[in-house]
Chains A and B, each alone.
Chain A
Amino acid sequence: MSTAPKLQVVYVAGLATVQDLGRRGYRALGVPVSGALDRLSAAYANALVGNRTGYAVLEVFGSVRLRLTVDAVVAVTGGYPRVVVEGVEVAPWTPIYCRAGSEVSVVPTGRGFVHYVAISGGILCEEVMGSASTYVRGGFGCLGRALKPGDELGARPVSADEVWDRVRRVKPPEEVVARSADPGDPAVLRVTEGIHSHLLGDLSTLLTSEYTVTPESDRMGYRLDGPPLVAASKLGRLPSTPTDRGYVQVPPDGKPIVLMADAQTTGGYAVALHVVQPDTDILAQLRPGRRVRFKLVSLDEAEGATSRYLAELENPTLKVVEEEYWT
Chain B
Amino acid sequence: MSSDIRVVGSGGYVVHVDICEDLTMECVGRAHRLYYAILRELSGIVDEVVLGTTSLAVYYDPRRIRASDLIPSIRRVWSWAREVELGELHRPRRFTIPVLYGGEHGPDLGSVARWAGLSEEEVVRIHSSRVYTCITLGFTPGFIYLGEVDPRIAAPRLETPRVRIPRGSVGIAGKMTGVYGLESPGGWRLIGRTPLTMFDPRRSPPIPIAPGDEVVFKPVSPEEFSRLSGVFVGEYSS
Contacts and interface: CB of A to CB of B under 8 A. Distances in A.
Contacts of B16: 195, 241-242
Contacts of B18: 195
Interface residues of B, number: 47
A239 to B, nearest CB: 5
Contacts of B59: 27, 244
Contacts of B11: 192, 244, 246-247, 274-277, 302, 306
Given A137-B140, A266-B139, A306 B13 contact: yes
B166 interface: no
Nearest to A266: B138
Interface residues of A, number: 46
B218 interface: no
A244 B57 contact: yes
Contacts of A30: 137-143, 181, 199
A-B pairs, 3 with minimum CB distance: A302-B12, A266-B138, A242-B57
Contacts of A311: 63
Contact of B47 (A24, A138, A139, A193): A24
Given A30-B137, A305-B12, A239 B54 contact: yes
B62 interface: yes
B23 A267 contact: no
A239 B142 contact: no
Interface in B20-46: 21-23
Contacts of B49: 28
B104 interface: no
B140 to A, nearest CB: 5
A38 to B, nearest CB: 18
B67 interface: yes
B149 interface: no
A4 interface: no
A241 B50 CA distance: 9
Contacts of A264: 138-140
Contacts of B14: 244, 274
Interface string A153-167: 000000000000000
Interface centre among A128, A242, A306, A307 (most CB of B within 10 A): A242
B52 A266 contact: yes
Contacts of A1: none
B131 interface: no
B8 A195 contact: yes
A209 interface: no
Interface string B48-75: 1111111111010111001100000000
Contact of A128 (B57, B61, B67, B202): B202
Given A28-B48, A30-B137, A264-B139, A303 B206 contact: no
A192 B137 contact: no
A192 B10 CA distance: 6
B23 A239 contact: yes
17 contacts: A24-B47, A24-B48, A29-B137, A30-B137, A30-B139, A30-B181, A31-B141, A128-B202, A129-B201, A139-B182, A195-B10, A241-B55, A242-B138, A266-B52, A299-B12, A302-B11, A303-B13
A265 interface: yes
Contact of B48 (A25, A135, A138, A240): A25
Contacts of A138: 140-141, 182, 201
Interface string A257-292: 000000011110000001111000000000000000
A216 B205 CA distance: 34
